Structure 1
Amino acid sequence: MQATMQQDGSKAIIKLSGSFTFEVHREFKQVTNSALERNDITALEIDLGDVDYMDSAALGMLLLLNERSAGRKISLVNCKGTVRSVLDIANFSKIFEIH
């Protein structure tokens, strides 16, 4: 998986691609920490449009990100196919804004 971050005003856009699994937890934490360390970031947008697979560890990483976000709004965007199904089954729409 690749993870990149860009800033759009006060929002950090984190684009993920490939398989979102436990093997990429360090890279995911590194890129999300770089966004959370910035005081001018008030929202995070996780772009899952190029993610073709995610496992339960990925769900856990998103939950931990939510805990570490210190009240920042987190939205999951471009969720489709299997990724959207996994998020729906896990009821993540109760925790995150999903587009």
Structure 2
Amino acid sequence: MLIASEVSLDGKKLTIAIKGRFDFGSHHAFRESYERFYKVPEVYVVDLKEATYMDSSALGMLLLLRDHAGGDKAQVQVINSNSDVRKILAISNFDKLFHIR
């Protein structure tokens, strides 16, 4: 599991890329990936292109990110999820909380 974060040059967008398993073992690294920035970005992007697995604790981590980003008015996108992950997100109604592409 590897989690990398990158902020855009203007500081308005933070991209968090997940590689490997996105589960409870990722909790500390995932949280650190967005809490370590002094300036709060306007848009958060979680890139699951290289994620191989996602469990219920990962769903909880996405909710914590959403709360950190501003709750209902937060702009959090989940991109590049495979079909299995998309099913998990849809069954959990996360498509109503996040912009999923």
How does the TM-score come out when normalised to structure 1?
Answer: 0.90
Distance 1:15 1:2 in 2: 8
1:59 aligns with 2:59: yes
Matching residue within 21, 26, 29 for 1:27: 29
Unmatched runs of 5 consecutive residues or more in structure 2: none
Query: Per-residue displacement from partner, 1:5-26 (whole Å, max 9, x unpaired)?
Result: 1122311111111000001100
What SS does the aligned partner of 2:36 have? helix
RMSD: 1.3
Asked if the contact 1:52/1:82 (under 8 Å) is kept, the reply is no
Distance 1:88 1:52 in 2: 17
Distance 1:69 1:28 in 2: 14
Instruction: Could you list the structure 1 runs, at least 4 aligned residues long, displaced by more than 6 angstroms after superposition.
Output: none
Query: Per-residue displacement from partner, 1:46-69 (whole Å, max 9, x unpaired)?
Result: 001111100000001101111111
TM-aligned CA deviation for residue 72 of structure 1: 3.4
Number of aligned residue pairs: 97
What SS does the aligned partner of 2:45 have? strand
Unmatched runs of 5 consecutive residues or more in structure 1: none
What SS does the aligned partner of 1:13 have? strand
Percent identical across equivalent pairs? 33
